[in-house]
Structure 1
Protein backbone atom coordinates (compact mmCIF):
# COMPACT_ATOMS: atom_id res chain seq x y z
CA UNK A 1 0.00 0.00 0.00
CA UNK A 2 1.51 3.38 -0.97
CA UNK A 3 1.98 5.85 1.87
CA UNK A 4 -0.37 8.77 2.54
CA UNK A 5 1.99 11.30 0.96
CA UNK A 6 2.05 9.40 -2.32
CA UNK A 7 -1.75 9.06 -2.37
CA UNK A 8 -2.19 12.78 -1.64
CA UNK A 9 0.25 13.54 -4.46
CA UNK A 10 -1.82 11.32 -6.72
CA UNK A 11 -4.96 13.33 -5.96
CA UNK A 12 -3.13 16.56 -6.74
CA UNK A 13 -1.79 15.10 -9.98
CA UNK A 14 -5.35 14.28 -11.04
CA UNK A 15 -6.53 17.80 -10.20
CA UNK A 16 -3.63 19.34 -12.08
CA UNK A 17 -4.23 17.19 -15.14
CA UNK A 18 -7.87 18.17 -15.23
CA UNK A 19 -6.99 21.84 -14.87
CA UNK A 20 -4.40 21.79 -17.64
CA UNK A 21 -5.57 19.15 -20.13
CA UNK A 22 -9.31 18.63 -19.73
CA UNK A 23 -11.20 21.72 -18.66
CA UNK A 24 -9.57 24.05 -21.26
CA UNK A 25 -10.93 21.67 -23.93
CA UNK A 26 -14.42 21.28 -22.46
CA UNK A 27 -17.01 22.64 -24.91
CA UNK A 28 -14.12 23.72 -27.16
CA UNK A 29 -13.43 20.50 -29.06
CA UNK A 30 -13.22 20.74 -32.82
CA UNK A 31 -14.77 17.91 -34.88
CA UNK A 32 -11.27 16.68 -35.65
CA UNK A 33 -10.51 16.31 -31.94
CA UNK A 34 -13.06 13.48 -31.54
CA UNK A 35 -12.56 9.96 -32.88
CA UNK A 36 -14.17 6.54 -32.45
CA UNK A 37 -12.63 3.31 -31.18
CA UNK A 38 -14.63 0.06 -31.13
CA UNK A 39 -17.83 1.61 -32.49
CA UNK A 40 -19.71 4.85 -33.15
CA UNK A 41 -20.60 5.36 -29.49
CA UNK A 42 -17.12 4.50 -28.13
CA UNK A 43 -15.40 7.87 -28.35
CA UNK A 44 -11.94 9.19 -27.62
CA UNK A 45 -10.96 12.85 -27.70
CA UNK A 46 -7.66 14.69 -27.71
CA UNK A 47 -8.43 15.52 -24.06
CA UNK A 48 -8.55 11.80 -23.15
CA UNK A 49 -5.20 11.19 -24.80
CA UNK A 50 -3.50 14.27 -23.35
CA UNK A 51 -4.86 13.60 -19.86
CA UNK A 52 -3.76 9.95 -19.85
CA UNK A 53 -0.29 10.88 -21.06
CA UNK A 54 0.08 13.57 -18.39
CA UNK A 55 -1.20 11.33 -15.60
CA UNK A 56 1.05 8.49 -16.70
CA UNK A 57 4.07 10.77 -16.37
CA UNK A 58 2.95 11.94 -12.93
CA UNK A 59 2.31 8.41 -11.71
CA UNK A 60 5.75 7.31 -12.90
CA UNK A 61 7.18 10.06 -10.70
CA UNK A 62 4.95 9.45 -7.66
CA UNK A 63 4.89 5.63 -7.75
CA UNK A 64 7.82 4.62 -9.95
CA UNK A 65 7.40 0.95 -9.06
CA UNK A 66 3.80 0.81 -10.34
CA UNK A 67 2.54 -0.38 -13.70
CA UNK A 68 0.27 2.23 -15.27
CA UNK A 69 -2.77 0.79 -17.02
CA UNK A 70 -4.78 3.45 -18.82
CA UNK A 71 -7.96 2.95 -20.81
CA UNK A 72 -6.48 4.52 -23.92
CA UNK A 73 -3.27 2.51 -23.63
CA UNK A 74 -5.30 -0.70 -23.48
CA UNK A 75 -7.35 0.45 -26.48
CA UNK A 76 -4.11 0.65 -28.46
CA UNK A 77 -2.57 -2.50 -26.96
CA UNK A 78 -5.09 -4.92 -25.34
CA UNK A 79 -2.23 -7.07 -24.01
CA UNK A 80 -1.31 -4.24 -21.64
CA UNK A 81 -4.24 -5.28 -19.46
CA UNK A 82 -2.39 -8.50 -18.61
CA UNK A 83 -0.02 -6.43 -16.46
CA UNK A 84 -2.80 -5.94 -13.91
CA UNK A 85 -2.67 -9.57 -12.80
CA UNK A 86 1.12 -9.72 -12.88
CA UNK A 87 2.10 -6.47 -11.15
CA UNK A 88 2.85 -6.12 -7.46
CA UNK A 89 1.46 -2.59 -7.74
CA UNK A 90 -0.61 -1.08 -10.55
CA UNK A 91 -2.43 2.20 -11.12
CA UNK A 92 -5.54 2.04 -13.32
CA UNK A 93 -6.50 5.28 -15.07
CA UNK A 94 -9.66 6.38 -16.83
CA UNK A 95 -8.61 9.84 -18.04
CA UNK A 96 -12.17 10.90 -18.88
CA UNK A 97 -14.99 8.65 -17.80
CA UNK A 98 -18.12 9.67 -19.66
CA UNK A 99 -16.31 10.75 -22.82
CA UNK A 100 -19.54 10.86 -24.82
CA UNK A 101 -20.98 13.34 -22.30
CA UNK A 102 -17.76 15.37 -22.37
CA UNK A 103 -17.74 15.47 -26.17
CA UNK A 104 -21.39 16.57 -26.18
CA UNK A 105 -20.69 19.41 -23.77
CA UNK A 106 -22.50 17.81 -20.82
CA UNK A 107 -20.93 18.48 -17.43
CA UNK A 108 -21.27 14.85 -16.36
CA UNK A 109 -17.86 13.24 -16.62
CA UNK A 110 -14.94 12.49 -14.34
CA UNK A 111 -11.49 11.05 -13.84
CA UNK A 112 -11.10 7.66 -12.18
CA UNK A 113 -7.91 6.33 -10.61
CA UNK A 114 -7.46 3.07 -8.71
CA UNK A 115 -4.36 1.65 -7.05
CA UNK A 116 -4.26 -2.14 -7.09
CA UNK A 117 -1.81 -4.14 -4.96
CA UNK A 118 -1.41 -7.82 -5.91
CA UNK A 119 -4.84 -7.89 -7.52
CA UNK A 120 -6.70 -6.06 -4.74
CA UNK A 121 -7.85 -2.44 -4.96
CA UNK A 122 -6.41 -0.46 -2.04
CA UNK A 123 -7.18 3.12 -3.17
CA UNK A 124 -9.93 4.59 -5.29
CA UNK A 125 -10.53 8.13 -6.55
CA UNK A 126 -13.61 9.49 -8.33
CA UNK A 127 -12.87 13.07 -9.36
CA UNK A 128 -15.32 15.65 -10.74
CA UNK A 129 -13.24 18.27 -12.62
CA UNK A 130 -16.20 20.61 -13.11
CA UNK A 131 -16.76 21.05 -9.37
CA UNK A 132 -13.17 20.25 -8.34
CA UNK A 133 -14.29 17.77 -5.71
CA UNK A 134 -13.59 14.09 -5.26
CA UNK A 135 -14.74 10.92 -3.57
CA UNK A 136 -11.85 8.90 -2.23
CA UNK A 137 -11.45 5.59 -0.41
CA UNK A 138 -8.53 3.81 1.17
CA UNK A 139 -9.08 0.16 2.07
CA UNK A 140 -10.22 -0.08 5.67
CA UNK A 141 -10.43 3.71 6.13
CA UNK A 142 -13.89 4.57 4.80
CA UNK A 143 -15.07 6.63 1.85
CA UNK A 144 -14.90 10.41 1.91
CA UNK A 145 -16.08 13.41 -0.07
CA UNK A 146 -13.46 16.14 -0.27
CA UNK A 147 -12.99 19.30 -2.29
CA UNK A 148 -11.12 22.54 -2.70
CA UNK A 149 -11.80 24.79 0.28
CA UNK A 150 -14.00 22.27 2.11
CA UNK A 151 -13.49 19.71 4.82
CA UNK A 152 -13.77 15.97 4.35
CA UNK A 153 -17.17 14.33 4.90
CA UNK A 154 -17.44 10.60 5.54
CA UNK A 155 -19.87 8.88 3.19
CA UNK A 156 -22.45 6.20 3.82
CA UNK A 157 -24.73 4.52 1.33
CA UNK A 158 -28.47 4.76 1.90
CA UNK A 159 -30.50 2.21 3.84
CA UNK A 160 -33.09 1.17 1.27
CA UNK A 161 -33.65 -2.56 1.35
CA UNK A 162 -36.53 -2.94 -1.13
CA UNK A 163 -36.85 -2.30 -4.85
CA UNK A 164 -40.16 -0.51 -4.33
CA UNK A 165 -39.59 3.22 -4.82
CA UNK A 166 -35.81 2.89 -5.12
CA UNK A 167 -33.56 4.85 -7.48
CA UNK A 168 -31.40 2.86 -9.87
CA UNK A 169 -28.74 3.42 -12.51
CA UNK A 170 -29.00 0.99 -15.42
CA UNK A 171 -26.98 1.39 -18.67
CA UNK A 172 -29.85 1.10 -21.11
CA UNK A 173 -27.71 2.48 -23.93
CA UNK A 174 -25.42 -0.55 -23.63
CA UNK A 175 -28.29 -2.96 -24.19
CA UNK A 176 -29.49 -3.96 -27.63
CA UNK A 177 -32.90 -2.58 -28.70
CA UNK A 178 -34.50 -5.99 -28.20
CA UNK A 179 -33.36 -6.11 -24.54
CA UNK A 180 -34.22 -2.61 -23.36
CA UNK A 181 -37.97 -3.05 -22.94
CA UNK A 182 -37.75 -6.39 -21.08
CA UNK A 183 -35.05 -5.04 -18.74
CA UNK A 184 -37.04 -1.89 -18.00
CA UNK A 185 -40.13 -3.98 -17.31
CA UNK A 186 -38.24 -5.94 -14.66
CA UNK A 187 -37.49 -2.70 -12.82
CA UNK A 188 -41.10 -1.49 -12.85
CA UNK A 189 -41.24 -1.42 -9.03
CA UNK A 190 -38.34 1.02 -8.83
CA UNK A 191 -39.26 4.65 -8.38
CA UNK A 192 -36.70 5.87 -10.93
CA UNK A 193 -34.26 4.21 -13.31
CA UNK A 194 -31.85 6.28 -15.38
CA UNK A 195 -28.64 6.05 -17.38
CA UNK A 196 -25.94 8.67 -16.72
CA UNK A 197 -23.41 7.21 -19.19
CA UNK A 198 -20.73 7.80 -16.56
CA UNK A 199 -19.50 5.20 -14.06
CA UNK A 200 -17.69 7.88 -12.05
CA UNK A 201 -20.93 9.64 -11.18
CA UNK A 202 -22.89 6.38 -10.87
CA UNK A 203 -20.58 5.32 -8.06
CA UNK A 204 -20.53 8.78 -6.51
CA UNK A 205 -24.34 8.84 -6.32
CA UNK A 206 -24.43 5.37 -4.79
CA UNK A 207 -21.74 6.21 -2.21
CA UNK A 208 -23.47 9.46 -1.19
CA UNK A 209 -26.89 7.83 -0.82
CA UNK A 210 -28.41 9.68 -3.79
CA UNK A 211 -28.92 6.40 -5.67
CA UNK A 212 -29.81 2.99 -4.28
CA UNK A 213 -28.45 0.56 -6.86
CA UNK A 214 -26.56 0.35 -10.13
CA UNK A 215 -26.03 -2.23 -12.84
CA UNK A 216 -23.16 -2.54 -15.32
CA UNK A 217 -22.99 -4.84 -18.32
CA UNK A 218 -19.17 -4.64 -18.68
CA UNK A 219 -16.29 -4.99 -16.22
CA UNK A 220 -13.57 -2.72 -17.56
CA UNK A 221 -11.34 -2.16 -14.50
CA UNK A 222 -10.92 1.55 -15.23
CA UNK A 223 -14.70 1.90 -14.82
CA UNK A 224 -15.12 -0.17 -11.66
CA UNK A 225 -12.01 -0.84 -9.56
CA UNK A 226 -12.07 2.53 -7.77
CA UNK A 227 -15.86 2.78 -7.47
CA UNK A 228 -16.23 -0.72 -6.08
CA UNK A 229 -13.83 0.11 -3.26
CA UNK A 230 -15.63 3.40 -2.61
CA UNK A 231 -19.01 1.70 -2.35
CA UNK A 232 -17.64 -1.08 -0.15
CA UNK A 233 -16.02 1.45 2.20
CA UNK A 234 -19.29 3.43 2.29
CA UNK A 235 -21.19 0.33 3.44
CA UNK A 236 -22.56 -0.94 0.13
CA UNK A 237 -22.53 -4.37 -1.48
CA UNK A 238 -22.02 -5.83 -4.95
CA UNK A 239 -22.02 -9.03 -6.98
CA UNK A 240 -20.85 -10.11 -10.41
CA UNK A 241 -23.16 -12.39 -12.34
CA UNK A 242 -25.33 -12.91 -9.29
CA UNK A 243 -22.95 -15.36 -7.66
CA UNK A 244 -19.42 -13.86 -7.38
CA UNK A 245 -17.79 -10.96 -5.55
CA UNK A 246 -16.17 -8.25 -7.66
CA UNK A 247 -12.43 -8.31 -8.42
CA UNK A 248 -10.48 -5.88 -10.62
CA UNK A 249 -9.02 -8.94 -12.34
CA UNK A 250 -12.41 -10.00 -13.74
CA UNK A 251 -12.88 -9.09 -17.39
CA UNK A 252 -16.32 -10.41 -18.24
CA UNK A 253 -19.69 -10.38 -16.53
CA UNK A 254 -22.49 -8.13 -15.39
CA UNK A 255 -22.27 -6.35 -12.04
CA UNK A 256 -24.91 -5.24 -9.55
CA UNK A 257 -24.05 -2.87 -6.68
CA UNK A 258 -26.48 -1.59 -4.07
CA UNK A 259 -26.64 0.37 -0.85
CA UNK A 260 -27.65 -2.73 1.11
CA UNK A 261 -27.13 -6.45 0.64
CA UNK A 262 -30.87 -7.11 0.75
CA UNK A 263 -31.61 -4.64 -2.05
CA UNK A 264 -28.63 -5.94 -4.03
CA UNK A 265 -29.96 -9.47 -3.78
CA UNK A 266 -33.38 -8.31 -5.01
CA UNK A 267 -31.89 -6.38 -7.91
CA UNK A 268 -29.77 -9.40 -8.80
CA UNK A 269 -32.81 -11.67 -8.83
CA UNK A 270 -34.52 -9.20 -11.16
CA UNK A 271 -31.53 -8.71 -13.46
CA UNK A 272 -30.45 -12.37 -13.43
CA UNK A 273 -33.86 -14.12 -13.46
CA UNK A 274 -32.33 -17.51 -14.26
CA UNK A 275 -30.36 -17.50 -10.99
CA UNK A 276 -32.87 -17.96 -8.13
CA UNK A 277 -30.48 -17.20 -5.29
CA UNK A 278 -27.07 -15.70 -4.59
CA UNK A 279 -24.47 -18.18 -3.42
CA UNK A 280 -22.71 -15.73 -1.10
CA UNK A 281 -25.73 -13.95 0.45
Structure 2
Protein backbone atom coordinates (compact mmCIF):
# COMPACT_ATOMS: atom_id res chain seq x y z
CA UNK A 1 0.00 0.00 0.00
CA UNK A 2 1.28 3.46 -0.91
CA UNK A 3 2.61 5.62 1.90
CA UNK A 4 1.43 8.71 0.04
CA UNK A 5 -2.08 10.18 0.16
CA UNK A 6 -4.15 13.35 -0.09
CA UNK A 7 -2.85 14.72 3.22
CA UNK A 8 0.74 14.52 2.02
CA UNK A 9 -0.19 15.93 -1.38
CA UNK A 10 -1.82 18.99 0.16
CA UNK A 11 1.15 19.51 2.46
CA UNK A 12 3.62 19.38 -0.43
CA UNK A 13 1.62 21.93 -2.44
CA UNK A 14 1.49 24.29 0.52
CA UNK A 15 5.22 23.82 1.09
CA UNK A 16 6.01 24.79 -2.50
CA UNK A 17 3.73 27.82 -2.27
CA UNK A 18 5.30 28.97 1.00
CA UNK A 19 8.86 28.57 -0.22
CA UNK A 20 8.02 30.40 -3.45
CA UNK A 21 6.74 33.36 -1.43
CA UNK A 22 9.76 33.36 0.86
CA UNK A 23 12.68 32.53 -1.45
CA UNK A 24 11.73 32.94 -5.12
CA UNK A 25 9.39 35.88 -5.62
CA UNK A 26 11.29 38.38 -3.40
CA UNK A 27 14.43 37.83 -5.52
CA UNK A 28 12.70 38.06 -8.90
CA UNK A 29 14.06 41.05 -10.83
CA UNK A 30 16.20 41.85 -7.78
CA UNK A 31 19.23 39.59 -8.29
CA UNK A 32 22.72 41.02 -8.06
CA UNK A 33 25.46 39.95 -10.45
CA UNK A 34 27.13 37.86 -7.74
CA UNK A 35 23.85 35.98 -7.18
CA UNK A 36 23.79 34.45 -10.68
CA UNK A 37 26.26 31.82 -11.86
CA UNK A 38 26.57 29.34 -14.75
CA UNK A 39 26.92 25.57 -14.62
CA UNK A 40 27.52 23.47 -17.75
CA UNK A 41 27.33 26.39 -20.21
CA UNK A 42 27.10 30.19 -20.14
CA UNK A 43 23.30 30.04 -20.56
CA UNK A 44 22.84 27.17 -18.05
CA UNK A 45 22.25 29.39 -15.05
CA UNK A 46 21.81 28.90 -11.34
CA UNK A 47 20.89 31.64 -8.89
CA UNK A 48 20.89 32.11 -5.16
CA UNK A 49 17.12 31.67 -5.35
CA UNK A 50 17.46 28.19 -6.93
CA UNK A 51 19.75 27.05 -4.16
CA UNK A 52 17.74 28.60 -1.33
CA UNK A 53 14.45 27.27 -2.67
CA UNK A 54 15.79 23.73 -3.17
CA UNK A 55 17.14 23.70 0.37
CA UNK A 56 13.90 25.03 1.84
CA UNK A 57 11.60 22.73 -0.18
CA UNK A 58 13.82 19.77 0.67
CA UNK A 59 13.56 20.57 4.37
CA UNK A 60 9.76 20.75 4.17
CA UNK A 61 9.59 17.49 2.20
CA UNK A 62 11.70 15.76 4.85
CA UNK A 63 9.11 16.74 7.46
CA UNK A 64 6.15 15.64 5.34
CA UNK A 65 7.69 12.41 4.01
CA UNK A 66 10.50 11.52 6.42
CA UNK A 67 11.29 8.20 4.72
CA UNK A 68 11.53 9.61 1.19
CA UNK A 69 14.72 10.19 -0.75
CA UNK A 70 15.00 13.80 -1.93
CA UNK A 71 16.66 14.56 -5.25
CA UNK A 72 17.05 18.19 -6.28
CA UNK A 73 18.41 19.55 -9.55
CA UNK A 74 21.11 21.62 -7.85
CA UNK A 75 22.21 18.72 -5.65
CA UNK A 76 22.56 16.52 -8.75
CA UNK A 77 24.75 19.21 -10.34
CA UNK A 78 27.38 18.41 -7.69
CA UNK A 79 26.65 14.68 -7.27
CA UNK A 80 25.15 12.96 -10.30
CA UNK A 81 25.04 9.60 -8.48
CA UNK A 82 21.95 10.86 -6.63
CA UNK A 83 19.93 10.05 -9.76
CA UNK A 84 20.41 6.34 -9.09
CA UNK A 85 18.01 6.65 -6.15
CA UNK A 86 15.00 7.19 -8.44
CA UNK A 87 15.00 3.50 -9.39
CA UNK A 88 15.21 2.28 -5.79
CA UNK A 89 12.16 0.90 -3.93
CA UNK A 90 10.15 3.34 -1.85
CA UNK A 91 9.34 7.02 -2.23
CA UNK A 92 11.53 9.58 -3.97
CA UNK A 93 10.73 13.27 -4.32
CA UNK A 94 12.31 15.07 -7.28
CA UNK A 95 12.57 18.87 -7.04
CA UNK A 96 13.24 21.50 -9.67
CA UNK A 97 13.32 24.61 -7.45
CA UNK A 98 13.13 27.04 -10.37
CA UNK A 99 12.42 25.62 -13.79
CA UNK A 100 13.23 28.23 -16.40
CA UNK A 101 16.13 29.76 -14.47
CA UNK A 102 17.39 31.59 -17.57
CA UNK A 103 14.01 33.32 -17.83
CA UNK A 104 13.92 34.04 -14.10
CA UNK A 105 17.45 35.48 -14.03
CA UNK A 106 16.64 37.68 -17.02
CA UNK A 107 13.44 39.10 -15.60
CA UNK A 108 10.95 36.99 -17.59
CA UNK A 109 8.04 35.59 -15.60
CA UNK A 110 7.89 32.28 -17.50
CA UNK A 111 9.31 30.13 -14.72
CA UNK A 112 7.90 27.63 -12.26
CA UNK A 113 8.54 25.03 -9.59
CA UNK A 114 8.28 21.35 -10.46
CA UNK A 115 7.90 18.56 -7.92
CA UNK A 116 7.37 14.86 -8.60
CA UNK A 117 6.74 12.01 -6.18
CA UNK A 118 8.05 8.69 -7.48
CA UNK A 119 7.21 5.36 -5.85
CA UNK A 120 9.20 2.25 -6.81
CA UNK A 121 10.45 3.97 -9.96
CA UNK A 122 7.01 5.22 -11.14
CA UNK A 123 5.69 8.77 -10.87
CA UNK A 124 2.55 8.91 -8.72
CA UNK A 125 2.24 12.69 -8.27
CA UNK A 126 3.29 15.61 -10.41
CA UNK A 127 3.09 19.29 -9.48
CA UNK A 128 3.65 22.15 -11.94
CA UNK A 129 3.47 25.36 -9.91
CA UNK A 130 3.51 28.95 -11.20
CA UNK A 131 4.71 31.31 -8.43
CA UNK A 132 3.69 34.43 -10.35
CA UNK A 133 0.04 33.36 -10.58
CA UNK A 134 -0.04 31.22 -7.43
CA UNK A 135 -1.74 28.43 -9.37
CA UNK A 136 -0.77 24.91 -10.25
CA UNK A 137 -1.45 21.75 -12.19
CA UNK A 138 -1.41 18.63 -10.08
CA UNK A 139 -1.63 15.12 -11.47
CA UNK A 140 -2.29 11.95 -9.52
CA UNK A 141 -1.61 8.56 -11.01
CA UNK A 142 -4.97 7.18 -12.14
CA UNK A 143 -6.91 10.25 -10.98
CA UNK A 144 -6.46 12.80 -13.75
CA UNK A 145 -4.70 16.15 -14.07
CA UNK A 146 -6.23 19.18 -12.40
CA UNK A 147 -5.74 22.93 -12.72
CA UNK A 148 -6.07 24.53 -9.29
CA UNK A 149 -5.09 27.68 -7.44
CA UNK A 150 -5.67 29.94 -4.50
CA UNK A 151 -8.55 31.81 -6.13
CA UNK A 152 -10.08 29.21 -8.44
CA UNK A 153 -11.98 25.94 -8.39
CA UNK A 154 -10.15 22.80 -9.46
CA UNK A 155 -10.69 21.99 -13.14
CA UNK A 156 -10.02 18.58 -14.67
CA UNK A 157 -7.85 18.90 -17.77
CA UNK A 158 -7.98 17.36 -21.22
CA UNK A 159 -5.04 17.42 -23.63
CA UNK A 160 -5.26 18.51 -27.25
CA UNK A 161 -7.52 16.52 -29.57
CA UNK A 162 -6.01 18.19 -32.63
CA UNK A 163 -6.05 16.06 -35.79
CA UNK A 164 -2.69 14.80 -37.11
CA UNK A 165 -2.54 17.49 -39.82
CA UNK A 166 0.76 19.11 -39.04
CA UNK A 167 -0.06 22.46 -40.64
CA UNK A 168 -2.77 22.94 -37.99
CA UNK A 169 -0.58 22.18 -34.98
CA UNK A 170 1.44 24.29 -32.57
CA UNK A 171 4.21 22.99 -30.36
CA UNK A 172 7.58 23.45 -28.71
CA UNK A 173 11.00 22.54 -30.09
CA UNK A 174 14.15 23.83 -28.40
CA UNK A 175 16.80 23.56 -31.11
CA UNK A 176 19.52 24.54 -28.64
CA UNK A 177 19.15 21.10 -26.98
CA UNK A 178 20.58 19.30 -30.03
CA UNK A 179 23.86 18.95 -31.86
CA UNK A 180 24.40 20.92 -35.06
CA UNK A 181 23.52 18.04 -37.38
CA UNK A 182 20.22 17.33 -35.63
CA UNK A 183 19.44 21.04 -35.42
CA UNK A 184 19.57 21.17 -39.21
CA UNK A 185 17.40 18.06 -39.57
CA UNK A 186 14.77 19.39 -37.16
CA UNK A 187 14.83 22.93 -38.54
CA UNK A 188 14.08 21.58 -42.01
CA UNK A 189 10.79 20.13 -40.68
CA UNK A 190 9.54 23.22 -38.84
CA UNK A 191 7.71 24.74 -41.84
CA UNK A 192 5.39 21.70 -41.63
CA UNK A 193 3.74 23.23 -38.53
CA UNK A 194 1.52 26.22 -37.97
CA UNK A 195 3.82 27.52 -35.24
CA UNK A 196 6.75 26.30 -33.14
CA UNK A 197 8.21 27.94 -30.05
CA UNK A 198 10.51 27.34 -27.10
CA UNK A 199 9.56 28.74 -23.69
CA UNK A 200 12.86 27.59 -22.12
CA UNK A 201 10.66 26.26 -19.33
CA UNK A 202 9.38 22.67 -19.17
CA UNK A 203 6.95 23.62 -16.40
CA UNK A 204 4.96 25.95 -18.63
CA UNK A 205 5.31 23.85 -21.77
CA UNK A 206 3.78 20.88 -19.93
CA UNK A 207 1.11 23.10 -18.40
CA UNK A 208 0.07 24.23 -21.87
CA UNK A 209 0.09 20.64 -23.13
CA UNK A 210 -2.07 19.37 -20.26
CA UNK A 211 -4.51 22.25 -20.79
CA UNK A 212 -4.89 21.45 -24.49
CA UNK A 213 -3.26 24.75 -25.52
CA UNK A 214 -0.29 23.15 -27.28
CA UNK A 215 -0.10 20.01 -29.38
CA UNK A 216 3.42 18.62 -29.01
CA UNK A 217 6.91 18.96 -27.56
CA UNK A 218 10.12 17.41 -28.87
CA UNK A 219 12.76 17.37 -26.16
CA UNK A 220 16.37 16.27 -26.45
CA UNK A 221 17.30 16.29 -22.76
CA UNK A 222 15.83 13.84 -20.24
CA UNK A 223 16.49 15.43 -16.86
CA UNK A 224 13.93 13.83 -14.51
CA UNK A 225 13.21 17.13 -12.74
CA UNK A 226 12.05 18.51 -16.10
CA UNK A 227 9.82 15.61 -17.16
CA UNK A 228 8.67 13.27 -14.38
CA UNK A 229 5.84 15.53 -13.20
CA UNK A 230 4.94 16.93 -16.61
CA UNK A 231 4.68 13.56 -18.34
CA UNK A 232 2.30 12.35 -15.64
CA UNK A 233 0.18 15.49 -16.03
CA UNK A 234 0.03 15.09 -19.81
CA UNK A 235 -0.79 11.38 -19.68
CA UNK A 236 -3.46 11.88 -17.04
CA UNK A 237 -4.98 14.53 -19.33
CA UNK A 238 -5.10 11.98 -22.16
CA UNK A 239 -1.86 12.79 -23.97
CA UNK A 240 1.01 10.55 -25.03
CA UNK A 241 4.67 10.61 -23.90
CA UNK A 242 7.21 8.22 -25.37
CA UNK A 243 10.79 8.24 -26.47
CA UNK A 244 11.05 8.78 -30.18
CA UNK A 245 11.72 5.04 -30.64
CA UNK A 246 8.33 4.26 -29.03
CA UNK A 247 9.58 3.34 -25.55
CA UNK A 248 7.23 4.59 -22.79
CA UNK A 249 8.81 7.31 -20.66
CA UNK A 250 9.92 6.53 -17.10
CA UNK A 251 11.55 8.95 -14.64
CA UNK A 252 14.63 6.72 -14.44
CA UNK A 253 15.55 7.53 -18.06
CA UNK A 254 18.38 9.97 -18.76
CA UNK A 255 19.11 9.35 -22.47
CA UNK A 256 16.98 9.59 -25.60
CA UNK A 257 14.64 11.96 -27.40
CA UNK A 258 11.27 12.50 -25.72
CA UNK A 259 8.25 13.20 -27.91
CA UNK A 260 4.99 14.24 -26.26
CA UNK A 261 1.71 14.86 -28.06
CA UNK A 262 -1.88 15.61 -27.17
CA UNK A 263 -3.15 12.39 -28.76
CA UNK A 264 -1.87 9.12 -30.18
CA UNK A 265 -2.62 9.89 -33.84
CA UNK A 266 -0.54 13.06 -33.74
CA UNK A 267 2.27 11.30 -31.85
CA UNK A 268 2.48 8.65 -34.61
CA UNK A 269 2.60 11.31 -37.33
CA UNK A 270 5.36 13.23 -35.55
CA UNK A 271 7.37 10.10 -34.79
CA UNK A 272 7.34 9.26 -38.47
CA UNK A 273 8.43 12.79 -39.41
CA UNK A 274 11.34 12.78 -36.97
CA UNK A 275 12.35 9.12 -37.27
CA UNK A 276 15.71 10.03 -38.95
CA UNK A 277 16.81 11.50 -35.59
CA UNK A 278 16.89 7.97 -34.15
CA UNK A 279 19.57 7.03 -36.67
CA UNK A 280 21.80 10.05 -36.20
| TM-score, structure 2 as length reference | 0.96
Task: Please state whether the residue corresponding to 2:139 is helix, strand or coil.
Answer: strand
Contact 2:212 2:262 (C-alpha < 8 Å) held by counterparts: yes
Query: 1:113 aligned to 2:134?
Result: no
Query: 1:54 aligned to 2:68?
Result: no
Deviation at 1:84, TM superposition (A): 1.1
Tell me: CA distance 1:223–1:275, structure 2 relative to 1, closer, same or farther (3 Å).
closer
**For each residue in 1:42-78, what CA deviation from the matched residue of structure 2 results, as whole angstroms up to 9, or x when unmatched?**
1100000000000000000000010000000100111
Contact 2:98 2:111 (C-alpha < 8 Å) held by counterparts: yes
From 1, 5, 8, the equivalent of 1:6 is 8
Counterpart residue number, 2:185: 182
Contact 1:173 1:195 (C-alpha < 8 Å) held by counterparts: no
Contact 1:45 1:99 (C-alpha < 8 Å) held by counterparts: yes
Counterpart residue number, 1:200: 203
Q: Which moved more, 1:171-180 or 1:89-98?
A: 171-180
Deviation at 1:244, TM superposition (A): 0.4
Counterpart residue number, 2:38: 36
CA distance in structure 2 between the aligned counterparts of 1:91 and 1:119, rounded to whole angstroms: 11
CA distance in structure 2 between the aligned counterparts of 1:156 and 1:80, rounded to whole angstroms: 34
Q: Which moved more, 1:84-93 or 1:57-66?
A: 84-93
Task: Please state whether the residue corresponding to 1:205 is helix, strand or coil.
Answer: helix
Q: Which runs of 5+ in 2 are unaligned?
A: none
Query: 1:23 aligned to 2:25?
Result: yes
Task: Please state whether the residue corresponding to 2:37 is helix, strand or coil.
Answer: strand
The root-mean-square deviation of aligned C-alpha atoms, in Å, is: 1.3
| TM-score, structure 1 as length reference | 0.95
Task: Please state whether the residue corresponding to 2:14 is helix, strand or coil.
Answer: helix
Query: 1:81 aligned to 2:77?
Result: no
From 209, 212, 232, the equivalent of 2:212 is 209
CA distance in structure 2 between the aligned counterparts of 1:72 and 1:275, rounded to whole angstroms: 30
**For each residue in 1:103-132, what CA deviation from the matched residue of structure 2 results, as whole angstroms up to 9, or x when unmatched?**
000000000000000000000000000000
Q: Which moved more, 1:165-174 or 1:97-106?
A: 165-174
Deviation at 1:144, TM superposition (A): 0.4
Q: Which runs of 5+ in 1 are unaligned?
A: 277-281
Deviation at 1:170, TM superposition (A): 0.5
CA distance in structure 2 between the aligned counterparts of 1:33 and 1:186, rounded to whole angstroms: 39
Deviation at 1:80, TM superposition (A): 1.0
Counterpart residue number, 1:279: none
Q: Which moved more, 1:82-91 or 1:222-231?
A: 82-91
Q: Which moved more, 1:185-194 or 1:3-12?
A: 185-194
Contact 1:26 1:105 (C-alpha < 8 Å) held by counterparts: yes
Counterpart residue number, 2:124: 122
Deviation at 1:181, TM superposition (A): 3.8
CA distance in structure 1 between the aligned counterparts of 2:250 and 2:148, rounded to whole angstroms: 26
